[in-house]
Structure 1
Amino acid sequence: MNITRVSDFFSINCLYKTRRKLSDIRLVDFPDVFQPKASDHGWYNLWQEKEYFKAKKSSNKYFTMILPPPNITGTLHLGHALTTTIQDVIARWHRMKGDPVVWIPGLDHAGIATQTIVEKYLNKTKGIKRDDISKEEFLSYVWDWNHEKGSRINSQLKELGASLDWSKEHFTMSKKHSVAVTEAFVILNERNMLYREKDMINWSPSLRSGISDIEVEYLRLCEKTDIEVPGYKKKVTFGQIVEVAYKLKYSDEEIIIATTRPETICGDVAIAVNPNHTLYSRYIGQHVKHPLKDIFIPVIADDSVSLDFGTGAMKVTPAHDPVDYRIAKKHNLEVVNVIGEDGFMTEAAKPFQGLPRFLARDKIISELSQRGFLKTIKDHEMMVPRCTRTGDVIEYILREQWFLKCESMAKRAMEAVRNGSLKIDPSFHEDVWFSWLGNIRDWCVSRQLWWGHRIPAYRCNFENNSTWLAARSEEEALLLAKKLYGNTVQVEQDSDVLDTWFSSALLPFSSIGWPSQAVDFHKCYPLSLMVTGHDILFFWIARMTMLGLELTEQLPFKEVLLHGILCDTQGKKMSKSCGNVISPESVINGISLNNLNSLVKDSHNLGILSSSEVKRTISVNGKMFPNGILDCGADALRFTLCSHNIKNSIIFFDVDQCRTNKFFCNKILQACRYTLLMTNDDPIEIPKELSSLDRWILSRLSFMVDSVNEALTQKLFNKATSAIKQFIHYEFCDYFLEGTKVGFQSERSDLILAHRFALVKSLEVSLKILAPFTPFLSDEFYIKMARKLPDFSNYNSLMEASYPTYNELQEYRDLNLEERMKNVIEVILKIRSLLTGLSKKLSFEVHIVTDSPKEFDVYSEHINVINAVSRTQNIKIIPSSNYVRMKNSIYDEATNTCSIFLVVEDEEVLEDLKNKLRKRRLRLEKKVQSAMEIKSV
């Protein structure tokens, strides 16, 4: 039926509304608007009840992944949601492809982070400090914290739809995992890969523990800056360099040194100068007077001293600087410790003993000034090392610790990447891999905490001697010690605990049974894929690789997918210190600004956030979410996270994109409603002939399915979601559905059958394709549609379904038709653009003018689609040879051979339209220019 009059167009809408009224019973399960909470309700429980997350017994190897275990320090943030969503999409896709999937959940005890936050909690809520209670009492509080936070984290994972096999859940402080940790330590010790030695480590005085490099962040200062430091009522000044004179023995001459750490001067044991220094090299071998002690210290030559830093001479303080310590070892210098593990000055720092280090700094500067040795104090660029957990300024101290030899393990890990056995995706991270592992230092695995795996090493005391051995228990240690040193020997376990990263590095094999190696161990190990953020490539991925190769003689995984760091729209990493952390449930369920700020205050009351962090977070919330956050649902959040190029180093997250994708979910709902209105309960026969519109949408469906599978194979989630959205939102909903309204209004049974077939087929496949990305919505809509459409398969959930493949749909692919329809779409877009802002009540016409006979036929064939999608009936298709342009018109080119003319009778309206088009074109040109400038940079 060819409709050319506006009255006919309105009759279609009237018919559509009438049909809706008559068919309301078919829409009883479908709301008018997408409601995320209604879609999410109950599905996760069903998935668990049906045991979809458990891999069926298989003779084949399982597709295995492990979820990077969240720390039990609090709740999940959007960074966790990103990792979880990526892995869940992969897991669901593989299940629907028929692969047996084992995806392992777990929690990390996070030694330093958890101990720190529980200490803050106890101090804030109960007025208790760690030193006020026994170790056992403190650990009981930590276990209570663990149970509460662990339960909350698991609830969050379920709310996200994470299809984890909960029967395989692990905890890195469980007895089972403790057995693996102990076994690993003992084996490494037996292989002579562990040693105990005094060395320079990162030390947090407020924690009174050594910390790993990843727990240290460097604050860059360009000038004098006051910083909050735990334990100090007033802020402490940094960003200054002090010049001090050291007078030569038997001379009035002096050497000027520059230091940013005058509090360590009492520990100076030498002055080091570069042998090529034009001024100071002549003093090498002489001695200078210590400015604060009645002693003389030597001037030594060392080519590691920079000629450009400070004055070119440097004080050597071996106990408090890694570089100085290496120089001291090289020159056999004394090591004098003047700052204790508690951050207070030691006896060696008299007369400043007992003072906090930064208060001592001020007094030392004052004393130097009084003695005439202080030359200048100037602003100076510097990097201040701070503990990420406490905000404390790191000290470098010498302490006896356990170290793991890493050089040989690092070589094997590098070779695995070099020979292709281990794939790192994206590959540009390989440079970091080789750089870190090629310059690796031995790993300090000792931590001075109460919470963690106690090191399974025992001091053996016998006949005024002492040595160490590793054992699986105190009984085993004593038995072994007696064999070696006699029956009078006594054993005492090391009070330190192991670095959390040590226990976490075992997870690929410890979480699936090692060291016992259960029945399915070899089917699950190595893992098929490891997914995590690129920021822990060295601290976790590399260490898992090294220990996996060493302890199992296999790589722990075949492939590593590294995603970027989630940042806000300004490019700032989401963190407590920035105040821009967003929880997944705030996006899923929505939250008002008042409630958002109330959560912040609650965290402060529990000791989790400091006063400054609360102030900063409330300020950021007001700027980012002045109206709160709209409830978007888990599906919209998941789809948004996947729509980013996760392989970029930085991922910019904008909550508004979630809101947009909620509208996309609503678009899918409306497509379901339309499908039900245009069909009945009868099975749909395969049509003998399809219209070009139906053939086109099925061809595009085939292309979309192929594109999504290819994108998922390459882990390009943004390309997968883009292909899905392009098809469902634009091609299916905007063009196809609108284009079929005329056919459904006609009396042509063959056309109605063809439309119904293409409509149902496209929607059925689309909901399956969406299932890994939007599992709640897909199950909710698909199962409800299946109750009324026999052509939908009868599943309890799409987790029982097979994922669509190109092979199933390739018969519909028609490239020539797609090319023709591409021109139709271009025409529609140009018409829409020209009509923007034009009232439909005004008198106007649209002329499609082409000099191509083929295009003329295509536009004529699809005039109903053009009318419907353009939402106007005043359209004429005219060969260019017969066209005379009217004065009161504006035009735009649709293709090389086709132009669109908009004819408007009212000259004033026409002029207004021209102005709007000019402004729009200028805006677009500016955007293009801006994009080009950014690209060139």
Structure 2
Amino acid sequence: MRKELGKTYDPKQTEEKLYQKWLEKGYFHAEVDRGKKPFTIVIPPPNITGQLHMGHALDNMMQDAIIRTKRMQGYSTLWMPGTDHASIATEVKIVDALRDEGTSKEELGRDKFLERAWQWREEFGGRITRQLKKLGSSLDWERERFTMDEGCSRAVREVFVRLYEKGLIYQGNRIINWCPECMTALSDAEVEYEEQDSHLWHMRYRAEDGGEGIVVATTRPETMLGDTAVAVNPADERYKDLVGKNVILPLLDKPIPVVADEYVDMEFGTGAVKITPAHDPNDYEVGERHNLPVVRVMNDDGTMAENAGKYAGMDRDEARRQIVDDLKACGALVKIEDYKHNVGHCYRCHTVIEPIISRQWFVKMKELAQPAIEAVETGKVKFVPERFSKIYFNWLYNIRDWCISRQLWWGHRIPAYTCKECGKLIVTVEAPSACPECGCTEFIQDEDVLDTWFSSGLWPFSTLGWPDKTPELDYYYPTDVLVTGYDIIFFWVARMIIFGIEIMGEEPFHTVDIHGIVRDSEGRKMSKSLGNGIDPLEVIGKYGADALRFSLAVGNSPGNDMRFYWEKVEAARNFANKIWNASRFVLMNIGEGEAAPVEEEKLDIADRWILAKLNGAIRECTDNIEKYDLGLAAQKIYDFSWSELCDWYIEMAKPRLYGEDEDVKSATISVLVYVLENTLKLLHPFMPFITEEIYTSLPGAAETIMLGPWPKPAYEGGREQADMMNGVMDLIRSIRNVRAEMNVPPSVKAKITVLTKHADAIHACAEYLKRLAYASEVEVIEDKARIPQNSVSAVCAVGEAFMPLVELIDVEKELARLKKEAEKNESEIKRAEGKLGNKGFTEKAPAKVVEEERAKLDTYLEMRGKLAERILFMEGMK
């Protein structure tokens, strides 16, 4: 016996049950199947510290919509799930927990700390994956990966060793970005810049010979203690006599040279720059060119170092204040100028970062970046929208060596070992058993771990089993599309392309589908500090996952930010209820048996119309999903479902269902079931739960909707009849509009006389006109002489409808309405004539578009005459 749908749809009772069924049946699981084409998406792995937010909900809805479509189209679809270990964020969480317990990671020691970290991961790391299931994400959970599982860890070590052996990874002293709070190095991509109000402090460095010397300006006076030179531009006439001589560093009374370097901008500040090689990347390069000493004056924790003299031990902010006071006191401070500039902050804790000289591990990026640049330039990898390739190119064209070492314990420890006996450095995938130089068996492994983005850069192939040559790697790599936000194009997207080409010899995906961020209703970015974040689980609890998903789909355009409105979710919930009620109506009229197949010879004009509209929806939805414009696809299925199926066709079907002719009833049911089934399939990628629940209630349905097949256009015959039905519907709308303007209630029916050149169409649709235009009788005429006296008219392209409603209306109001309609028609004539009179349009636009515009003008001109006649007629009735 067929399952019955309840009176109302209750997502709370449905979604959990259906998701468990899908998991138990293994519908999400992908297997290598050489008889099918593969289609692969790897999830941007969420951090194990995270929980679902609106950005995740949007990102995963989009991936799920694409993967569900491809699954129904017959591909062997793999949507690879997994999570990222998030070195900094996770370590911060655990350190905070230890602090609350009155201990620290140093007291615990590395091994115990890592045990605690793995326990934390087991306890909290699966939270976001459970939340993704609430959203309905059809990920292949049987293949779930973690960036620190054994397979991914082995891949990380293998890539590190390969790059080291090629000379692309090295260890050296360079300027890096340092977070004094997280106590670790950061890559350039992990620094967020914020404009801040500050100052330029102008200081005089007197000449060693007692002269006036030189004035320099700085935004960081606390670093002056590490100055080892002052630089000027070699073309600057003001300072040519000082080049090669010494000036005295204030407060420390230390002589430092004046050097000439083209790096200096003569127009900025005083045209002279203090050079602090240990605390500024540009200064470091100047120092390299001039063989300047490197003096570090700040510790890792942001306090001043021993080289800072009497300021040693002070916090950097305290030292700044004291140094400025001391400069004033000794007369070296010339002036303080207000100044706005961008200040780098740690992307995790938002502490101001310090550029500091440090011995770290680096990847040489210029050589690796070039093939990645060419991949996008040649179209092997495409960005959607294309404009986001500019962000990608800008980063890669200006790329610096990547600092990949982090001073943390949680993460992939660098596979570099130093022999305790002879000091030889050995870089190897597995810990060495003996030193190849001296035979010693004791080694010290490098203390640092790798930047999290190093391991996530390998995600498209490490998750498929690399470095082993697995069947999955051979079949599913390269993947197809990456769906992600524009904020991690350089963090992650570029590095995946770089590693994919370098390690696999092939780009990891062909398309990067970029979406914007979800903002609040006022357009603000959602954040904890503003307290304006919306919890997706709260929305799901209130309205269901389908409503949230659909609200994020409709109105979403590629690459653009969108706003969250509760009203949109409510509208999506109402849409779900509309589909549910329409489906119940269809099912109640089917009976216990199955619907017969659609037979073309039994189709009437309304059937052909709805089938033509369905074909159009199938084509447009499919095309838009293929182009990754999910917002347009969702809008199309919404418009078709709500308006054309529910508001029009179901209403047109009712007289035939309630009539006495069983053949007509059977034919109508066949079309209703066919259209509903295909509508549900089009809607399934966006609203998986409600579509599954309804679909499995249909007669003859398979056990799940998600295994397809995806709809294809069918029953293409009778296009002329379908087009004519559009004209009849325009006539119905016109009649309804006239009645509405005159406040005539639907219960008041009237005879409708239609003056038309399309009598066959009107006769074929007479029953629809009766029901939908509230007509008691429909008469078709071709002679104006037969127009009823004292009637009001509705005008459209298919003809004029006359209704004897004079007794129910105000003649003056009707006359005013007609004149307003005539004015609107005249403006359309003027617009069309202007367009057709423009050679730029008629000569450059496609011939079909120009012809359509001419046809519109002919229609407007015809309506002009009809409206003029009616106005004249109404004026005669006054």
Contact kept, 8 Å, 2:608 with 2:722, in 1: the verdict is no
Q: How is 1:742-761 mapped onto 2 (pairs within 5 angstroms)?
A: 742-761=655-674
Contact kept, 8 Å, 1:848 with 1:898, in 2: the verdict is no
SS of 2:250's equivalent in the other structure is coil
Distance change (3 Å), C-alpha of 1:457 and 1:672: same
Deviation at 1:45, TM superposition (A): 1.3
Unaligned runs of 5+ in 1: 1-24, 225-238, 591-630, 787-791, 926-937
Q: What is residue 659 of structure 1 aligned with on the other side?
A: 570
Q: What is residue 618 of structure 1 aligned with on the other side?
A: none
Query: What's the CA shift string for 1:281-309, capped at 9, x where partnerless?
Result: 45333332222211122222222222333
Query: What's the CA shift string for 1:801-841, capped at 9, x where partnerless?
Result: 322212xx1x2354433432333333444555556687555
Aligned partner of 2:592 among 671, 681, 684: 681
Q: What is residue 470 of structure 1 aligned with on the other side?
A: 427
Q: What is residue 119 of structure 2 aligned with on the other side?
A: 144
Distance change (3 Å), C-alpha of 1:773 and 1:292: same
- Mapped to 1, the partners of 2:790 and 2:325 lie a distance apart of 88
Q: What is residue 768 of structure 2 aligned with on the other side?
A: 865
Distance change (3 Å), C-alpha of 1:316 and 1:861: same
Deviation at 1:397, TM superposition (A): 0.7
Distance change (3 Å), C-alpha of 1:798 and 1:365: same
Deviation at 1:905, TM superposition (A): 6.0
Q: How is 1:408-447 mapped onto 2 (pairs within 5 angstroms)?
A: 408-447=367-406
Contact kept, 8 Å, 1:845 with 1:904, in 2: the verdict is no
Q: How is 1:692-731 mapped onto 2 (pairs within 5 angstroms)?
A: 692-731=605-644
TM-score, structure 1 as length reference = 0.81
**In the alignment, residue 504 of structure 1 is paired with which amino acid?**
S
Deviation at 1:886, TM superposition (A): 10
Deviation at 1:897, TM superposition (A): 6.5
Aligned partner of 2:436 among 460, 483, 502: 483
**In the alignment, residue 678 of structure 1 is paired with which amino acid?**
N
- Mapped to 1, the partners of 2:274 and 2:806 lie a distance apart of 85
SS of 1:576's equivalent in the other structure is coil
**In the alignment, residue 648 of structure 1 is paired with which amino acid?**
G
- Mapped to 1, the partners of 2:9 and 2:201 lie a distance apart of 65
Contact kept, 8 Å, 1:703 with 1:813, in 2: the verdict is no
**In the alignment, residue 721 of structure 2 is paired with which amino acid?**
L
Contact kept, 8 Å, 2:751 with 2:776, in 1: the verdict is no
Distance change (3 Å), C-alpha of 1:880 and 1:388: farther
Aligned partner of 1:200 among 175, 178, 202: 175
Q: Does 2:523 match 1:634?
A: no
Distance change (3 Å), C-alpha of 1:825 and 1:141: farther
Deviation at 1:781, TM superposition (A): 0.8
Distance change (3 Å), C-alpha of 1:514 and 1:315: same
- Mapped to 1, the partners of 2:781 and 2:559 lie a distance apart of 49
Q: Does 2:187 match 1:212?
A: yes
Distance change (3 Å), C-alpha of 1:189 and 1:824: same
- Mapped to 1, the partners of 2:410 and 2:575 lie a distance apart of 47
Deviation at 1:847, TM superposition (A): 10
Q: Does 2:235 match 1:332?
A: no
Distance change (3 Å), C-alpha of 1:277 and 1:882: farther
Query: What's the CA shift string for 1:312-336, capped at 9, x where partnerless?
Result: 2221121111111111111111212
**In the alignment, residue 314 of structure 1 is paired with which amino acid?**
V
Unaligned runs of 5+ in 2: 828-878
Distance change (3 Å), C-alpha of 1:51 and 1:249: same
Q: What is residue 338 of structure 2 aligned with on the other side?
A: 379
Q: Does 2:470 match 1:518?
A: yes
- Mapped to 2, the partners of 1:519 and 1:823 lie a distance apart of 57
SS of 1:396's equivalent in the other structure is strand
Contact kept, 8 Å, 1:454 with 1:497, in 2: the verdict is yes
Distance change (3 Å), C-alpha of 1:309 and 1:518: same
Contact kept, 8 Å, 2:191 with 2:345, in 1: the verdict is yes
Contact kept, 8 Å, 2:514 with 2:559, in 1: the verdict is no
- Mapped to 1, the partners of 2:417 and 2:474 lie a distance apart of 34
Aligned partner of 2:490 among 508, 529, 538: 538
Q: How is 1:685-834 mapped onto 2 (pairs within 5 angstroms)?
A: 685=596, 686-687=598-599, 688-786=601-699, 792-793=700-701, 795-806=702-713, 809=714, 811-833=715-737
Deviation at 1:489, TM superposition (A): 8.0
Aligned partner of 1:88 among 37, 45, 64: 64
**In the alignment, residue 428 of structure 2 is paired with which amino acid?**
A
Deviation at 1:857, TM superposition (A): 5.5
Contact kept, 8 Å, 1:290 with 1:296, in 2: the verdict is yes
Deviation at 1:903, TM superposition (A): 6.2
Contact kept, 8 Å, 1:201 with 1:398, in 2: the verdict is yes
- Mapped to 2, the partners of 1:454 and 1:179 lie a distance apart of 11
**In the alignment, residue 365 of structure 1 is paired with which amino acid?**
V
Distance change (3 Å), C-alpha of 1:814 and 1:499: farther
Q: What is residue 45 of structure 1 aligned with on the other side?
A: 20
SS of 1:188's equivalent in the other structure is helix
Query: What's the CA shift string for 1:673-698, capped at 9, x where partnerless?
Result: 11123332234444542221111111
SS of 2:480's equivalent in the other structure is coil
- Mapped to 2, the partners of 1:746 and 1:136 lie a distance apart of 80
Larger deviation, residues 504-513 vs 646-655: 646-655
Query: What's the CA shift string for 1:214-257, capped at 9, x where partnerless?
Result: 32211123xx4xxxxxxxxxxxxxx2222222223334524332
Contact kept, 8 Å, 1:888 with 1:907, in 2: the verdict is no
**In the alignment, residue 435 of structure 1 is paired with which amino acid?**
N
Aligned partner of 2:86 among 100, 110, 114: 110
Aligned residues: 820
- Mapped to 1, the partners of 2:184 and 2:298 lie a distance apart of 14
- Mapped to 2, the partners of 1:313 and 1:836 lie a distance apart of 79
Q: What is residue 457 of structure 2 aligned with on the other side?
A: 505
Aligned partner of 1:647 among 551, 558, 565: 558
**In the alignment, residue 52 of structure 2 is paired with which amino acid?**
L
SS of 2:126's equivalent in the other structure is helix
Distance change (3 Å), C-alpha of 1:323 and 1:883: farther
Distance change (3 Å), C-alpha of 1:745 and 1:896: closer
- Mapped to 1, the partners of 2:204 and 2:806 lie a distance apart of 87
Contact kept, 8 Å, 2:458 with 2:499, in 1: the verdict is yes
SS of 1:94's equivalent in the other structure is helix
**In the alignment, residue 681 of structure 1 is paired with which amino acid?**
E
- Mapped to 2, the partners of 1:779 and 1:425 lie a distance apart of 30
Contact kept, 8 Å, 1:203 with 1:394, in 2: the verdict is yes
Contact kept, 8 Å, 2:756 with 2:798, in 1: the verdict is no
Q: What is residue 58 of structure 1 aligned with on the other side?
A: 33
| Alignment RMSD | 3.4
Deviation at 1:746, TM superposition (A): 3.1
Deviation at 1:192, TM superposition (A): 2.1
Distance change (3 Å), C-alpha of 1:819 and 1:139: same
- Mapped to 1, the partners of 2:742 and 2:418 lie a distance apart of 87
Contact kept, 8 Å, 1:827 with 1:900, in 2: the verdict is no
Aligned partner of 1:153 among 125, 128, 137: 128
SS of 1:812's equivalent in the other structure is coil
Identity %: 37
Contact kept, 8 Å, 1:406 with 1:442, in 2: the verdict is yes
Contact kept, 8 Å, 2:181 with 2:301, in 1: the verdict is yes
**In the alignment, residue 135 of structure 2 is paired with which amino acid?**
L
**In the alignment, residue 728 of structure 2 is paired with which amino acid?**
V
Contact kept, 8 Å, 1:424 with 1:560, in 2: the verdict is yes
SS of 2:258's equivalent in the other structure is strand
Contact kept, 8 Å, 1:116 with 1:390, in 2: the verdict is no
- Mapped to 2, the partners of 1:832 and 1:382 lie a distance apart of 63
Q: What is residue 853 of structure 1 aligned with on the other side?
A: 757
Contact kept, 8 Å, 1:734 with 1:869, in 2: the verdict is no
Distance change (3 Å), C-alpha of 1:112 and 1:681: same
Larger deviation, residues 637-646 vs 512-521: 637-646
Q: Does 2:459 match 1:552?
A: no
Q: What is residue 935 of structure 1 aligned with on the other side?
A: none
- Mapped to 2, the partners of 1:392 and 1:412 lie a distance apart of 35
